[in-house]
């Protein structure tokens, strides 16, 4: 277990601070909003323990350095992640490093194994934790909150609309007996008429083998003290009120949290580093006409087959339009890299920019 961040030196001041424990899911789209949350809480006078792992701490080194430079009361707690013990490759500590959906259950079980070292850390802290805000997927943090007699709030980074969709799917088992991916599914209790196909529903809600984990997540969401959403009341009034009514849970809308970053460097420091620095990318963009560039990225978790990547590249080439194409590290298939090197990059070099990582 290792620590990084600002230590509190004034015992009286420290004892009066509220101590928030943030436990993000180790996936970029879940972790980055929580770094913003940590910053906002610390800027409002709270002490924050941000739970992470060695690999993920390396990814957010820029943010950690920023916190240390500004003196915010945030400690980054690096818990050793038991990847190998749960059948994962050594160092596989983020969801975007999982090479097969079959291993996602292993990853979630490895996350749950952090309960014991996290509990041990919290018992050593002064002041003691006041509240745990954890990703909804970390159902096991509810046991820790009960042990300390403190509230546990859930966070997932989704808007109220998406959160309500997910909740109804799980509550009513809407996908359980749907075999046709294109069958229209009605959402009972949704405040506006809504029909979705299984194909368009969140894939994580139908992955085989995660039934017990989904059940645990749902049950602990019901037992939680409330929900934190990265949204704001004026944007989603109807869906926020409906979520509170259907779940019986208080919703705190604190978004968009990214606005706490006042400069582009602070914003960029929150995530993993790409193969190309910002200055190089901006120089390339400056050569293009305003509003002419297509940005292509499917995020860090999309599982894209080599053939799909090649077809996507061919489509971008055929478009004759400028583009920036992000190929995540997990999509660096040998056959794709070979295809790119065989002439694609040369053919599009004047109007196409490929960012790896």
Question: Which residues does the annotation mark as catalytic?
Answer: 30, 135
Using CB atoms within 10 A of its CB, is residue 77 exposed (0-12), middle (13-18) or buried (19+)?
buried
- Distance separating alpha carbons of residues 152 and 225, to the nearest angstrom: 6
Structure tokens at 199: 């194909």
Per the CB < 8 A criterion, the answer to whether 187 and 163 are in contact is no
3-state class (DSSP) for residue 269: coil
Q: Where are the beta strands (DSSP E) in the chain?
A: 2-5, 19-23, 47-52, 74-78, 131-135, 152-155, 184-186, 195-197, 226-229, 251-253, 294-296, 323-327, 352-356
- Distance separating alpha carbons of residues 12 and 37, to the nearest angstrom: 25
**Among candidate residues 101, 134, 115, 87, the one with its CA nearest the CA of residue 210:** 101
Structure tokens at 40: 């906002």
Q: Where are the beta strands (DSSP E) in 45-126?
A: 47-52, 74-78
- Distance separating alpha carbons of residues 267 and 63, to the nearest angstrom: 9
């Amino acid at each position: 277990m290792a620590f990084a961040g600002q230590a509190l030196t004034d015992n009286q001041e420290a004892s009066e601070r509220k101590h928030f424990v943030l436990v993000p899911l180790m996936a970029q789209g879940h972790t980055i909003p929580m770094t913003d949350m940590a910053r906002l809480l610390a800027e409002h006078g709270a002490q924050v323990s941000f739970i992470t792992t060695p690999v993920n701490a390396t990814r957010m080194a820029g943010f950690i350095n920023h916190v240390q430079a500004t003196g915010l009361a945030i400690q980054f707690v690096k818990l050793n992640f038991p990847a190998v013990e749960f059948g994962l490759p050594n160092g596989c500590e983020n969801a975007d490093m999982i090479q097969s959906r079959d291993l996602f259950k292993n990853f979630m079980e490895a996350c749950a194994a952090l309960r014991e070292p996290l509990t041990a850390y919290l018992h050593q802290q002064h002041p003691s934790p006041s509240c745990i805000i954890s990703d909804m997927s970390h159902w096991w943090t509810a046991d820790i909150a009960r042990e300390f007699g403190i509230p546990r709030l859930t966070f997932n980074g989704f808007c109220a609309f998406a959160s309500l969709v997910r909740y109804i799917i799980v509550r009513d088992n809407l996908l359980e007996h749907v075999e046709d991916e294109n069958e229209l599914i009605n959402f009972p209790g949704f405040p506006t008429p809504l029909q979705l196909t299984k194909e368009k529903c969140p894939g994580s809600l139908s992955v085989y083998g995660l039934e017990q984990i989904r059940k645990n997540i749902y049950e602990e969401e019901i037992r939680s003290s409330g929900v934190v959403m990265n949204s704001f009341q004026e944007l989603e009034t109807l869906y926020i009120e409906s979520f509170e009514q259907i779940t019986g849970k208080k919703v705190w809308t604190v978004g968009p949290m990214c606005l706490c970053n006042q400069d582009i460097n602070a914003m960029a420091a929150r995530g993993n580093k790409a193969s190309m620095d910002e200055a190089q990318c901006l120089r390339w963009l400056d050569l293009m006409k305003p509003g002419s560039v297509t940005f292509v990225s499917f995020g860090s978790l999309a599982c894209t087959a080599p053939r799909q990547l090649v077809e996507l590249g061919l489509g971008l080439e055929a478009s004759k339009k400028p583009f920036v194409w992000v190929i995540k590290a997990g999509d660096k298939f040998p056959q794709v890299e070979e295809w790119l090197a065989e002439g694609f990059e040369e053919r599009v070099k004047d109007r196409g920019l490929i960012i790896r990582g």
